[in-house]
Amino acid sequence: MASLIPLAEIPTISLLYRLKHLVPTSSATSTPSQAFNDTISLIRHDITKLQVDCIVNAANESLLGGGGVDGAIHRAAGPELLRECRTLNGCATGDAKITGAYHLPCKKIIHAVGPVYQYEKSKGGNRHEVLLRNCYRRSLELAVENGMKSIAFSALSTGVYGYPSEEAALAAVDEVRSFLQESNNLEKLDRVVFCSFLEKDEQAYERVIPRFFPPTSQDLSSSSKQSGSQPQAQGESSPSSETLAAQLPDPPTVEPTLDGQPEAKKQKVNLDDSIHRVIVKDDEKSEDDWEEVDKADGGPEERLDDEPVEVGQASSVVDVQSVQSSGIIDLNESQHSVQSMLDKDW
């Protein structure tokens, strides 16, 4: 089971540039900003394990739970969450509502209802994108209104709702940047974390982030690389980048479940010498699967009958995740000196 990740161990994109895990692009559309790059963070992990102020759930209009990250959050938070959700009278697509976090390590959960990609797109225009952007904006507004200083987003709509990863990352990252640029919103938030679960989503963020949050000269400078001094994120005492790099977490290998309960996705684990791989067969994910999981959880059994549900991935897609690669840092590398890590050509 994945371990809890304190905020200080969630890498900022400034650190990821210094580690050369993020690569600058020539097609950057924004001016580099150290303040932004010390605020925006990227991690591939189970979002229920992040010790941030609030996490953003990819919910449906009923707000009564479901599969994917929604199921994981309800399982980890406990039945009190469903009780509170029942009082909220659902939530429109493109909007978000906030609840307590109960047994989760965060303080609040923001439940955002992303668009079902094909369904909204078929209505014409860029409705799907507007709705997805609204989810990110409303979540940020709710976080600020409720005094939350750090927020972690799941990759809304990119699972069952079928939004293509890169298209979704573009809308998400651009909307977050717009929000932070407005009035003094940047000062109100210490961290905004993009938390992905699958490698395809993490890679989409890695391609998109440098366009909207390009590196500063400090992020790229060899002097800061040599000294190992990590620019301090707002509102927290920052450990050195050596500490951070050594502690960067492993990526998730399985969907979280409670002991004795069925997993939300069927998985095959092949431990082959030093190469440990988890193979997630997306074509085995179906609506039936997650309904079964919900009921077995003693969790929500209700959902909107007329809610259109699409399975996003092509049925033949097999997503292979290396569990030895941390998603950020190779496990073997993390055991080497940080200097060799910083010097490595990622």
- Interacting residue ranges for ligand AR6, rule: CB under 6 A: 46-48, 58-60, 66-70, 72, 114, 154-161, 195-198, 201, 255-256, 290
CA distances (Å), origin 258, targets 80, 165, 261, 264: 16, 28, 5, 11
CB of 184 to ligand AR6, least distance (A): 30
Min dist. Cβ of residue 33 to ligand AR6 (A): 27
Query: Considering the complex, what minimum distance in angstroms separates the CB of residue 99 from ligand AR6?
Result: 14
Closest to ligand AR6 by CB, 38 or 70? 70
Count the alpha carbons within 13 Å of 209 in the hemisphere toward its beta carbon: 27
Q: In this structure, which amino acid lies at residue 42?
A: L
Residues 6+ apart with CB under 8 A from 283: 313, 314, 315, 316, 317, 318
Q: Using CA atoms, how far apart are residues 15 and 40, in angstroms rounded to an integer?
A: 10
Tell me the closest approach of the beta carbon of residue 46 to ligand AR6, in angstroms: 4
- Name every residue whose Cβ is closer than 8 Å to that of residue 267 and which is 6 or more positions away in sequence: 254, 255, 278, 279, 280, 281
* CB of 179 or CB of 290, closer to ligand AR6: 290
Identify which of residues 137 and 225 has a Cβ nearer to ligand AR6 in the complex.
137
CB of 2 to ligand AR6, least distance (A): 9
**Cβ 263 vs Cβ 294: under 8 Å:** no
Distance CA 20, CA 189 (A): 25
Residue 11 or 68: the one with the smaller Cβ distance to ligand AR6 is 68
Nearer to ligand AR6, 34 or 203 (CB): 203
> Which amino acid is located at 324 in the chain?
Q
